[in-house]
Amino acid sequence: MKRREKSTWTGRRFVTVLSVSLIAIVIFSLANFDAMKQPAQAADATKENTRAIAPVGSRNETVIVFIGDSLTQGYGVRAEEAYPELVGKQLRDKGYSVKIINGGISGSVTAEADRRLRWYLRAKPQIVVLALGANDGMKGAPPDVIEKNLKKAIDLAKANGIDVVLAGLKMFTNLGDEYLRKYEAIFPRLAKETKVQLIPFLLEDVALQKEYNQSDMRHPNPKGHEVIANRVTKSLEGLLVKHAKAQTSSQTNPQDGVKQ
């Protein structure tokens, strides 16, 4: 009887040891599997986070960053219908090699302008289209503060050798004539002072036009974005010609005049 009990106990111990060993092997295998996955997952996450601001691969490609609010982001329309994307298509159709980065974020104000631009410096842009100020105006922000914020961003761009296109804006009449006068004077004065290119009114022929706006009469519909894109494209062409000449010059050896 004792011999049988001893045999049974030994068998149970063997099963227990075997079970523990199998569990340990499974846990070890799962841990190694997760460890093998983590580098790949981390690489994918890094790739996804940097994709929008990765420097271009072609030396001849001009990077254009649009920094704006919901008007630039394309509120209420598909991403490809927003005017920055349409500008890119129009310029490529004209033969220009460009990379468009749409940095429009709904609700943005001019206080964020320089910080937003600093983020996009890693993309090494040659041109920045600065289209901020609408939300400031609707909140009744002091015009001198708006101007100071925009100038800070422009100064940062110029310090990094980036050309700036400043988009002028207008405001609703319910804020009073004096505010409107001071607000609308910001853009031409600032463009003249900093010697940057000005689009007098980004929403020219679009603002308050039912045909070109969504139901809120504040955000352009796809047709409205097309009108805006046409105007912005014309404004950018001169700068792109300048950049093309500069790139050609930089590829030419000053000693023998042979292109590299």
Q: What is the pTM of this model?
A: 0.75
CA distances from 208 to 173, 180, 217 (A): 12, 16, 6
2 lies in some domain: no
Range of the domain at 177: 60-249
For the chain, the domain total comes to 1
pLDDT at 243: 82
15 lies in some domain: no
CA-CA distance, 38 to 66, in Å (whole number)? 35
45 lies in some domain: no
CATH number, domain with residue 199: 3.40.50.1110
Two structure tokens written together for 157: 């761009």
Rama region for 36: left / alpha / beta (φ>0; ψ in -120 to 50; rest): alpha
pLDDT tens digit at each of 260 positions of the chain? 544 444 444 455 544 433 434 333 333 333 343 333 333 333 333 333 333 444 444 568 999 999 999 999 999 999 999 999 999 999 999 999 999 999 999 999 999 999 999 999 999 999 999 999 999 999 999 999 999 999 999 999 999 999 999 999 999 889 999 999 999 999 999 999 999 999 999 999 999 999 999 999 999 999 999 999 999 999 999 999 988 777 776 666 555 443 32
227 lies in some domain: yes
4 lies in some domain: no
Which amino acid, one-letter code, is at 160? Answer: N
Which residues are known to be catalytic? 70, 216, 219
24 lies in some domain: no
240 lies in some domain: yes
25 lies in some domain: no
Cβ density class 158-189: b for 16+ within 10 Å, e for less? eeeebbbbbbbbbbeeeeeeebbebbbebbee
